[in-house]
Amino acid sequence: MGRHGWEPGARRWRLTALLGVGVAALALVVTLINTLPGSGSTAGTTRDGAKVHGTPATPPNADKPDVGWGFTHTQYSADEGDPAATERVEGLLSKAGSLPQNQHIMGWGADNPEPVKGRYDFAAMDRRVDFIRKSGGTPVITLCCSPDWMKGGRAGVDRTDWSQAALETAPTPDHYKDFAALAATVARRYPDITHFIVWNEFKGFWNDARARWDYEGYTQLYNLVYGALKKVNDKIMVGGPYLVMDSVDPREQDASAVLKGTWGAMDQRVLDAFGYWNRHRAGADFVVVDGSSYTKDDDLLPNEFGATDKLTAVGQWVRRQTHDLPLWWAEYYVEPADGHDDRRTWTEPHRVAVQAAGLIALVKGGASSGFYWNPEEEKGAGCAGCLWTPTDGGDGGRPLPMLDLVSRFNQAFPPGSSYASVSVAPDDVPNVRVLATDRTVLVVNTLDRPISAQVDGKRFDMKAYEVKWLKR
């Protein structure tokens, strides 16, 4: 889909200069030993991929299908960088109240986990899991993407194709069982991780001939992975289908006649794919979708705040189809990206306000868990929309406004929250978005100017695009 890019975790080899002919000869011997005929290099891999890594933790919500509101690690995160900066982020996340943290098994900061069949490289994954454990997060693993040899490419540490097109290619049907076996290996390696999402955005499952999603192929893969994970530990919780809930102009050919609103209309092909998976899935402990408030043409209808109503409508529809399975949003977007997939045109107050409105819309649609796609940068002082500043220097790892929003939202509205209605003055209804429990009220000013609002019987001033938290 290319909405957020794939951001692969490039291998970070540091080659030391070879000293002397003897050392060079020894290196050649090692290279030959670590290369299987026709399979490419196996250097740095091991056969014991299922060996338990590190010291498993006891994360919060390990036995519940809902994990709350957190974020996804992308190519750059705080598992690497200056020690002072990475430790600072660990502390921030620990104090933030055990944010759920999601990590993919290949790409987005992780290397090829099985470059040759039966030979594993989990070094990058291990580092991410260690970071999640140390920062007290609830770990979630997204089972995407797949090694090259499972999708028509070549095996070998030195043969991984990190292009976006290659990474977003699904396993071929004859390798679905191999991918399920890899998923089981991952589950055995990290026994404290009990939440798994199967694949990402139907990547590689588009059927050109039929101009629709290959939902039969995805569902076959999903069911095999589901069964493999349950055999490892029947307490593992599995969810899918992680479809992009695309919307279009209501006048388009593929526009749904059933699920539509002022925000546009759902792409009927997405609804068809969801329906097939829902009818033929082997099981599911939670349901996973992703999507944006804007249309496929990046139209915010009727505006950036009104467009978030789509997230509510989609959530309510999904919950009806699945008879109220716990609903997760693996990704959610409210700010269209540019051609480089960057979102830098809004000010940070504007961004945070629309993101807060989006989170409110997700909850009103019945969602209990969601993951902010953290667009972290490797270097620099600033980072639009990021949770913290880059960790390349000792002064890095400083909190940014989006971290405050995500962490406070997770603390104020955890899974199982009972939501309450609050009074809003009639004149203020068009200008604010509100979410409340019996203890907390979140209020968002949707205008680019100061206002005086009366909410829950209290009148107060709000700055342009201000996000305010009230105690009850």
CA distance 249 to 244: 16
Nearest to 269 by CA among 288, 250, 256: 256
Whole-number Å distance between alpha carbons of 178 and 224: 10
Q: Which residues are bridge partners to 292 per DSSP?
A: 333
Q: What is the pLDDT of residue 7?
A: 46
Average pLDDT of 99-121? 98
Look up residue 119 and give its amino acid: R
For the stretch 380-402, pLDDT in tens is 887 999 999 999 999 999 999 99
The DSSP symbol for 40 reads E
Confidence grade of residue 39 (pLDDT, cut at 50, 70, 90): low
Q: What are phi and psi of 130, to 5 degrees?
A: -60, -40
Alpha-carbon torsion (380, 92, 354, 200), positive or negative: positive
> pLDDT band at residue 340, thresholds of 50, 70 and 90?
confident
What are the percentages of helix, strand and coil residues in the chain, rounded to 5?
30, 20, 45
Q: Which residues of 45-59 are buried (b: 16+ CB within 10 A; e: fewer)?
A: beeebeeebeeebeb
pLDDT the model gives residue 33: 39
pLDDT of 246 over the 80 cut: yes
- pLDDT recorded at residue 382: 79
- Average pLDDT of the chain, as a whole number: 92
d(CA 287, CA 65): 10
Share of the chain above pLDDT 70, in %: 92
**Residue 19: pLDDT over 50:** no
CB 40 within 8 A of CB 116: yes
